[in-house]
A and B are shown apart, each in its own frame.
Chain A
Amino acid sequence: MNKSVFSSLVAVLASLVVATPALAAEEVNLYSYRQQSLLQPLTDAFTEETGIKVNVVHAAKGLAEKIKAAGENNPADLVLTVDIGRLEEVRAAGLFEAVNSPVIDEVVPAHLRHPDNLWFALTTRARVVYAHKDRVKEGELNSLKDLADPKWQGRICTRSGKHVYNIGLIASVIAEDGEVAAETWLKGLKANLARKPQGNDRAQAKAIFEGQCDLAIANRYYMGKMFYNTKSPEQQEWAEKIRVVYLDQDIGGRGQHINISGAGLLKTAKNKDNAIKLLEFLVGEKAQGLYATANYEEPVRSGIKTDEFIESLGDFKADRISLQEVADQRAAAARLVDRVGYDM
Chain B
Amino acid sequence: MSTTANSTSPFSLARLRFDPWVWLALAIAALAIIPIATILMLSWADNQEIWQHLLDTVFWIYVKNTLLLCLGVAVFTSLMGTGAAWLVTRFNFPLKSVLVWALLLPLAVPSYILAFVITDQLEYAGFVQKTLRTLFGWQTARDYWFPEIRSIQGAIAVLSLVLYPYVYLLARAAFVEQAAQLFEMSRCLGKSQTQSFFKVALPLARPAIVVGVTLALMETINEYGTVEFFAVPTLTAGIFDVWLNMSSLSAAAQIALMLVSFSILLLGLERYSRNAGKFYKLTGQSPTMFAEPLSGFKAWLATALCLLPISLGFILPITVLTNYALRNLEQGLDQYLNSAWNSFSLAIMAALLTSILGLLLAYGVRLSKSNKMRSIAEAATLGYAIPGAVLAVGILYPLGVFDNTVDRLMKAWFDYPTGLLLTGTGGALVLAYSLRFIALSYRTLDASLTKITPEMDDASRILGSRSGKTLWRIHLPLIRPSVLTAMLLVFVDTMKELPITLILRPFNFDTLSTQVWDLASLEQLEQSALAALTILLAGIIPVIIMSRNIGSSERRPQGQ
Contact = CB atoms under 8 A, between A and B. Distances in A.
Interface of A: 1-2, 5-6, 9, 12-13, 16-17, 19-21, 29, 35-38, 55-63, 65-66, 68-73, 75, 85, 89, 92, 160, 162, 164, 167, 194-203, 206-207, 209-212, 222, 225, 231-232, 330-331, 333-335, 338-339, 341, 343-344
Contacts of A201: 523
B508 A1 contact: no
Interface stretch (B191-199, B416-424, B442-450): B416-424
B245 A66 contact: no
B407 interface: yes
A199 to B, nearest CB: 8
A344 B246 contact: no
B57 interface: yes
Contact of A16 (B140, B360, B427, B503): B427
B183 interface: no
Contact of A231 (B231, B237, B521, B527): B527
Contact of A198 (B230, B249, B352, B499): B230
Given A162-B245, A232-B526, A20 B506 contact: yes
29 contacts: A2-B472, A12-B349, A19-B425, A21-B506, A35-B522, A57-B508, A57-B509, A58-B518, A61-B243, A61-B244, A62-B393, A63-B503, A66-B503, A68-B400, A70-B423, A75-B419, A92-B247, A160-B231, A195-B141, A200-B523, A202-B523, A212-B141, A225-B523, A231-B527, A331-B246, A334-B246, A341-B57, A344-B58, A344-B61
Contacts of A344: 58, 61, 233
Tell me the dominant secondary structure on chain B's binding face: helix
B403 A73 contact: yes
A12 B240 CA distance: 34
B247 A330 contact: yes
A259 to B, nearest CB: 14
Nearest to A194: B141
Closest 6 CB pairs of A and B: A69-B400, A334-B245, A338-B57, A210-B125, A198-B231, A55-B507
B57 A339 contact: yes
Nearest to A92: B247
Contacts of B356: 1, 5-6, 9
B392 interface: yes
A163 B499 CA distance: 17
Contacts, number: 192
B229 to A, nearest CB: 8
Given A71-B404, A200-B523, A344-B61, A29 B507 contact: yes
Q: How big is the B interface, by class? A: 35 or more
A327 B375 CA distance: 45
Interface in B512-560: 514, 517-519, 521-524, 526-527
Contacts of B392: 62
Given A73-B404, A201-B523, A335-B246, A17 B427 contact: yes
B505 interface: yes
A338 B62 CA distance: 11
Contacts of A16: 349, 425-427, 430
A335 B242 CA distance: 9
A75 B420 contact: yes
B477 interface: no
A19 B426 contact: yes
Given A92-B247, A343-B231, A69 B423 contact: yes
B425 A20 contact: yes
A231 B327 contact: yes
Contacts of A61: 240, 243-244, 389, 499, 502-503
Nearest to A72: B404
Given A61-B503, A70-B404, A333-B245, 12 more contacts: A17-B427, A57-B508, A62-B503, A66-B396, A68-B400, A70-B400, A72-B404, A73-B424, A201-B523, A231-B328, A330-B247, A331-B246
B68 interface: no
Given A198-B230, A212-B125, A13 B427 contact: yes
B419 A20 contact: yes
Nearest to B471: A1
Contacts of B249: 65
Contacts of B140: 211-212
Nearest to B65: A344
Contacts of B427: 13, 16-17
Nearest to A232: B526
Contacts of B327: 231
A207 B125 contact: yes
A235 to B, nearest CB: 10
Contacts of B503: 59-63, 65-66
B397 interface: yes
B396 A57 contact: no
A343 B233 contact: yes
Contact of A210 (B124, B148, B420): B124
Contacts of B426: 16, 19
